[in-house]
């Protein structure tokens, strides 16, 4: 069994004249990993690197044993961007049927994905008429087609009500329990407690890597938000 689903080594990304990722290294194991940090710290750039959608200056990114962006990873990674990647003029079921053909996966995965995100009652509703939370779930359903081995989620719970956030995190854990790795980015620190493992990010660097308990113990903090602040204040010592 593969120990790490993702292995990043000395990754450098430059956009314009700004070095967004200054040579970072990290691993993502199985389970639910949270990538947490403030907006603009490089989380989305890192996730784009993992799915092969970002040009890199140097370094290596391996996902499921292959270089990021490899053709064999096409159906093994589910990716959800901050903006739901679905067509507003199609129904939920029509969107998924379209992406099934694009991905070349089994047609039966449409029903499984719709049920997984609890949109069975809305499968024939046009996406443009759904609520924001329902639209986000439709985008997640697309990412679940073909039952990917890695699910990459860019701030999937931002702006959602507490009940829907709770339900989505329960879904992420069910997916992980089924054998997939789930990588979730967020700037909401209280979501850290829902993860098996944490990567805390600041200004393009990983400043902590471990379970929530390990991060709190390392800093002597009562919660992960306080731990993050302590790490930022002493980042020269912990980088």
Every domain of the chain and the residues it spans: 6-76+150-238, 85-147
pTM value is 0.90
Beta bridge partners of 35: 185, 199
Per-residue pLDDT of the chain (239 residues; tens, 9 = 90+): 447 999 999 999 999 989 999 999 999 999 999 999 999 999 999 999 999 999 999 999 999 999 999 999 988 999 999 887 899 999 999 999 999 999 888 899 999 999 988 899 999 999 999 988 889 889 999 999 988 999 999 998 887 788 888 888 998 999 999 999 999 999 988 899 999 999 999 999 999 999 999 999 999 999 999 999 999 887 434 33
Q: What is the pLDDT of residue 164?
A: 82
Beta bridge partners of 210: 198
H or E stretch including 8? strand 4-15
CATH class of 6-76+150-238: alpha beta
């Amino acid at each position: 069994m593969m120990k790490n689903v993702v292995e990043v080594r000395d990754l450098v990304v430059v956009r314009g004249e700004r070095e967004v990722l200054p040579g970072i290294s990290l691993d993502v194991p199985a389970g639910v990993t949270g990538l947490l940090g403030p907006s603009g710290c490089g989380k989305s750039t890192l996730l784009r690197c993992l799915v092969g959608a970002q040009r890199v200056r140097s370094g290596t990114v391996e996902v499921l044993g292959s270089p990021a962006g490899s053709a064999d990873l096409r159906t093994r990674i589910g990716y959800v961007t901050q903006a739901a990647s679905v067509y507003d003029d199609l129904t939920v079921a029509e969107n998924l049927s379209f992406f099934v053909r694009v991905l070349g996966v089994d047609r039966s995965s449409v029903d499984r994905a719709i049920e997984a995100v609890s949109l069975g009652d809305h499968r024939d509703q046009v996406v443009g008429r759904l609520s924001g939370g329902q639209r986000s779930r439709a985008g997640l359903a697309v990412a679940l087609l073909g039952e990917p081995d890695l699910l990459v989620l860019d701030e999937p719970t931002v702006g959602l009500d507490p009940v829907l956030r709770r339900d989505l995190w329960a879904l992420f854990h069910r997916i992980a329990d089924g054998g997939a790795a789930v990588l979730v980015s967020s700037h909401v620190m209280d979501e850290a407690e829902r993860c098996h493992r944490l990567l805390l990010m600041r200004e393009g660097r990983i400043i902590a890597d471990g379970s929530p308990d390990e991060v709190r113990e390392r800093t002597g903090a009562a919660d992960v938000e306080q731990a993050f602040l302590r790490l930022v204040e002493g980042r020269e010592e912990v980088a």
